[in-house]
Amino acid sequence: MGLHSDSGGGEAVIFFNDNLDRPQEMLYLEFEAVLDSFIGLPDFANQTKRAAYLRIDGYLNITAIVFFLIKFDDLGAADKKWNLPLRELADSGGYGPDLGAGGAIKLNCHSQCDDSRYQQFLWEPKSSREDNEYVTLRKIVKDNRLGIVTAKLNSESDQRYVAVNEQLPSTSSAITSAMSSNKDGHDMTSQANSAEFDNTALRNEVLVEDLRIEITQQISKQYQNKLREKLSELMQTHKSEFSEYDNEQKRAVDVLKREQQTVISDQLEQIEDLRQQLIQMEEINNELKQRLNDKAIGMAAMEEQLAQHEWNECAAEQQANASSLEQQLSTELKDKLEQENFTLQEMIRMRDIELYYRYEQETCMRDELAILRAEGPRLTDDDGDYSIDDLHAGGITFVVFHPGAGHLTLPREDIEKYIEHPQAYVAAKCGVSLEIYQQWLYYTEAPYCQVQDEEGNICGEVVESSELPSQFIPGVSDRCNKHMSVVASTGYADTSNSTDDRWDTPKH
């Protein structure tokens, strides 16, 4: 319908919900009350809501939209820092879709905003066929639950309404005429029914539109008057409450100031009393110091004499105690050294006996080996036993174990060398001489410092043995830290006082 108005239209704000509920709507006047914290929205607490500012004409057509975002705190109050100029954005918006107002609306959204300062506070609406927020807004405005004032019909509209009713033929006459011309004609009956439906629908549409406009205007005026009265009452109440609260705060501050002033005065008096007491105490203290100085001067001589006498007695006593302790320690140290020396001498004697028996065993083994070598061919030919070559050819491997070398597999050509002198063979495998290998073997079994002093006493300090014969250095590795320092200072190892002469071949 092409209706014209003398007045009407308004502004509204629509809040979209993330669920499928109907968006919440309010007049722009109510939204301003929300921004001024006169009205709270507890349902929006701790949320950032998607909203739309609508400008609506007198025919309930949308002419401008601003899609904006707004935050609410935990009490449902709007963010106090929010200051988006909705009306200015609506005036400066670009072209949007045609929502029935006879042309494109003015639109401001995230993708269409001339001022980059406000772009982050705008959002992008959906315009798909399944989910179209423009259609949702148009339906909300047409329902007019907010009671927006619509346009009044002028005289020209009234005349056109009468002309439409006069031009509409009577439904009964149209049906009778159609039936008389062709009672059995199915086409004519359909035309009559269609004409009746069109005429009735057009008449009803005009009547309903007029009735709706009249009722809406009455309700809208009453609602807006009541809303203005309520907002005025709320603002007056809040102003009075704020004024009373401000007066109470001022009275409370005055009381606190008076109490604080009283407390400060009392504290100042206490400070003055304490200062006077401190002055008196300083005078008494000075007098006492003077008395103490006089007594100290008188007692100084006595104390000096007494101290000298006590010092002489103490010195004599300390000297006697020191002599007694020195004699006792000397006796204990001598006994301990004799015991340690005896223990080490016993260990050395047992080691010498062990070496002597080992030498005897090696001598016997060498004699038996010489006899076996001499009689080996004869025994093999006479008895049919196998020789070493036969055993080696049969896959038999000779493996021996010695400290410092571990398990050694003897090749066929080294078996006779090993049998002739096992330790010499092992020493060669370790890369040292026979003498060094024997010394290393001894010190790994008895890791003690064998350096003797001028009186013939052995040091006997435990030393860390070398893991491999190649790491052993005679005169260095077999000495403790004390005798190692002698080597470091002189630059060479003195073995004249060492007990290494026991490695000489035992005589028997």
pLDDT at residue number 72: 95
pLDDT exceeds 60 at position 232: yes
DSSP 183-246: TT-HHHHHHHHHHHHHHHHHHHHHHHHHHHHHHHHHHHHHHHHHHHHHHHHHHHHHHHHHHHHH
The residue to which tokens 């008449």 are assigned: 203
Interval 336-344 mean pLDDT = 85
Interval 345-363 mean pLDDT = 79
pLDDT at residue number 420: 84
Percent of the chain with pLDDT strictly greater than 70: 75
Contact status, residue 76 vs residue 47, Cβ threshold 8 Å: no
**Which range, of 180-194, 281-295, 394-408, averages the lowest pLDDT?**
180-194
Interval 201-218 mean pLDDT = 60
pLDDT at residue number 209: 58
The residue to which tokens 């939204």 are assigned: 31
Helix/strand number for the chain, H first, E second: 11, 8
Helix (H, G, I), strand (E, B) or coil at 371: helix
pLDDT at residue number 100: 81
pLDDT at residue number 11: 94
pLDDT exceeds 70 at position 35: yes
pLDDT at residue number 387: 66
Alpha carbon distance 412, 398 (integer Å)? 9
pLDDT at residue number 124: 94
Helices (H), 384-421: 388-393, 415-420
pLDDT at residue number 340: 83
pLDDT at residue number 46: 92
- Does residue 500 or residue 435 have the better pLDDT? 435
* pLDDT confidence bin for 68, thresholds 50/70/90: very high
- pLDDT tens, position by position, 418-430: 888 888 888 888 8
pLDDT exceeds 80 at position 254: yes
- Amino acid code (one letter) for 425: Y
State the chain's mean pLDDT as an integer: 77
DSSP 90-158: HHT-EE----SSSSPPEEEBTTB-S-TTSGGGB-PPPB-SSSBHHHHHHHHHHHTTT-PPPPPP-HHHH
Q: Which of 154-163, 247-256, 382-391, 475-484 has the highest mean pLDDT?
A: 247-256
**Which range, of 334-348, 401-415, 461-475, averages the lowest pLDDT?**
461-475
Alpha carbon distance 327, 448 (integer Å)? 30
pLDDT at residue number 279: 93
* Per-residue tokens: 370: 């010489």
Contact status, residue 218 vs residue 211, Cβ threshold 8 Å: no
* pLDDT confidence bin for 148, thresholds 50/70/90: confident
Q: Which of 172-181, 462-471, 494-503 has the highest mean pLDDT?
A: 462-471
Interval 277-292 mean pLDDT = 90
pLDDT exceeds 80 at position 126: yes
